[in-house]
Amino acid sequence: MIGTTVGSVLADYTGYRGQEHWEWSALVLVGVAVAGWITSLAIAPLPGANLARRFPWDAPQQTWRDLKTLAHTPAMLRVAYGIMFFWSLGALANLNIDQFAFEAGGEKQTQVAPLLAALVIGVGVGSVLAGVWSAGRVELGILPLGATGLVFFPLLLFTVEGEFFKSNGDWTISYIAAGIWLFMLGCSAGLFDVPLAAYMQHNSPRDRRGSILAASNFMTFGGMLLASVAFDVMRLPTEPGTLDNLQTYYVNEPESLTRSTEIWRELEEAQIAGQPLAVEDLIHAHPEHEGLAREVFQEFVGPPLMTARQIFLGCGVLTIPVLIYIVCLIPQASIRFLAWLLTHTLYKVRVHQRCNLPEEGGALLVPNHVSWIDGLLLVAISPRPIRMIVSGDLVNSWWTRGIARIMGAIPIWRHSHKGVRSALETAREALNAGELVCFFPEGRITLSGHLQKFRRGTLEIVKGTSASVIPVYIDELWGSMFTFRGGRYFRKPSGAFFRPASIWFGSPLRDVKNIHQIKQAVQDLGADAVSGRKGRMLVLPRLMLRKCRKGLFRFKVADSSGAQATGGSLLMRTLILRRLLLREVLAPDEKYVGILLPPSVGAVVTNAAVTLAGRVSANLNYTVTNEVLNACIRKAGIRHVLTSKK
């Protein structure tokens, strides 16, 4: 972005063909080279991977050998094509932005720089998002999202019409819209490129990685070269314009009409003399009429085969088959990423002890069943594909059957003994093949939020296999939109969305003897989840302050005497009483305070004020005798007892 901006500024500052203030161009270019050389000195030296290898003097033959090495792995070849497509499209967009701005009234290179900066910043933001959303793994499921943006935002750029600049040089709404769409196009490009590059670097064979990356780079720069040639072809002029067109256009502007006619005559004379025609020369000859000179030159040579807007339209249309191919090629990864995006948008998902999930080999996941989206959460956060054992009643339509087939789900038909046996055999085969299988041993969603009875069929799945059993506990999800809390699904009060959800993975169990052993492991994991949750819970005073502040005018407490208080009233009374207690009653070293009040609004205010004052409150019972009460006060070290008379 800095290079693009500095280059645009230099282009304007150094004037015609860079001849004015040329020393600044030299200073910048040499300075960048020196800075790069100094920075390179800090690179740590590494030993050669193959010291016996000679320098490849036969560069063309070596390139051909590298390409054959890349083609030997079809998955790598497809990824290389994807990277080549990305950079080719990026080169085409980069070349097109200049014409895009000039066709909309731009006159200086510095007016193009913000659009280029928006594109480059977008690529950076999209790349960072791809890294964050990948969650430490190579996530090809992001590709469809990036490809969708590469289709959608060039089409939006095609819809941007009108002048980009007002007469005083200010930006118009069209210019701002173009910057926004270019930024989003850059974000989409980052989301598209980073997973491909990560996949190639992570999954290419270590002994052939250099050759594969070299071949991929050769394809990439070859694609960029073809994109440049294609851009020149698309910008070739069609049939030349006529002077009548200009005169018609400027019929109401006498001064512009006269000036444009003069410029037209100059171009005709240069053409007759056989001199090369260049818009830069024409602008240099008429610096005070730069915009007019561009328009006359464009009319003289003829309109281009495709305008800048049409080129963006072509980029979007060309990406449509790429998007379709990606979705058809990796449908499971696409669905998994969409599941991740959906669940992490609706919930604050935390994953604990993910290290207990094996990186390879078969394993059976046995989670508790709290909501309708438990399986979706597990699929979203697992770095490996999970084959879910689902009820056959959930896959009774064409689209659910299609999704189940793509995700490798195993439907189980409980009303058919043969269907149950077939599902168990399929699950065993998946475990023996080293896949992850998930089965909810409770058999249905909990109606109370607690663990239900585990079905013995769980043991039948791992019978005859060497797979381990991974206990899983899904915590903090009870009460959300998709649970049965309140005696109904889907209809919940506020707070059903955007709530935390924790997923805990327990240590693998091997040689499981009975179903009680699995249930006990899940229960113990639930206890760990509750203990872990306490560390994030707000202390009671802070929670009270937050709730009252959010509901200043909402009814909070009332008692049998008719007294009541809203959140704001309760908070105000508490803070006033706290100040009075600290100033008039409580000593600095006084820790315990007794409270002798009946259950009431006043008692709530008093307890809250004492707690916010940093003291420990002891609520004393009216029904005990004075002797017992006095004994309790002495034993607790209470100096003050707050009553309704105090």
Question: In this predicted model, what pLDDT tens digit does every residue of 203-257 receive, in sequence order?
Answer: 888 778 888 888 999 999 999 999 999 988 888 877 776 666 666 666 666 666 6
Higher pLDDT, 294 or 338: 338
Question: In this predicted model, what pLDDT tens digit does every residue of 559-589 receive, in sequence order?
Answer: 888 888 999 999 999 999 999 999 988 888 8
pLDDT given for residue 301 in this prediction: 67
pLDDT band at 639 (very low <50, low <70, confident <90, very high): confident
- Predicted confidence (pLDDT) at residue 198 exceeds the cutoff of 70: yes
pLDDT given for residue 476 in this prediction: 81
Contact 467, 365 (CB under 8 A): no
- Predicted confidence (pLDDT) at residue 8 exceeds the cutoff of 80: no
According to DSSP, the β-strands at 592-596 and 555-558 are unpaired
CA distance 188 to 195: 12
Grouping H, G, I as helix, E, B as strand and the rest as coil, residue 135 is coil
Question: In this predicted model, what pLDDT tens digit does every residue of 110-168 receive, in sequence order?
Answer: 777 888 888 889 989 999 998 888 767 777 888 888 888 999 999 998 988 878 877 77
Contact 438, 365 (CB under 8 A): yes
pLDDT band at 385 (very low <50, low <70, confident <90, very high): confident
pLDDT band at 33 (very low <50, low <70, confident <90, very high): very high
Q: What's the chain's length in residues?
A: 646
pLDDT given for residue 70 in this prediction: 86
CA distance 463 to 314: 57
Question: In this predicted model, what pLDDT tens digit does every residue of 581-638 receive, in sequence order?
Answer: 999 888 888 888 888 888 888 889 998 999 889 888 888 776 667 777 787 777 777 8
The DSSP string of 507-545 is: PPB-S---HHHHHHHHHHHHHHHHHHHHTTSPPHHHHHH
Question: In this predicted model, what pLDDT tens digit does every residue of 181-192 receive, in sequence order?
Answer: 999 999 999 998
Alpha helices in 135-240 (DSSP H): 143-158, 173-203, 209-234
* Tokens (6 digits) for 191: 């989301």
Q: What's this model's pTM, rounded to 2 decimal places?
A: 0.65
Average pLDDT for 488-505 = 68
Catalogue the E-assigned strands of 218-285.
none
Greatest mean pLDDT range, 34-38, 56-60, 79-83, 381-385: 34-38
- Predicted confidence (pLDDT) at residue 435 exceeds the cutoff of 70: yes
Percentage with pLDDT > 90 across the chain? 11
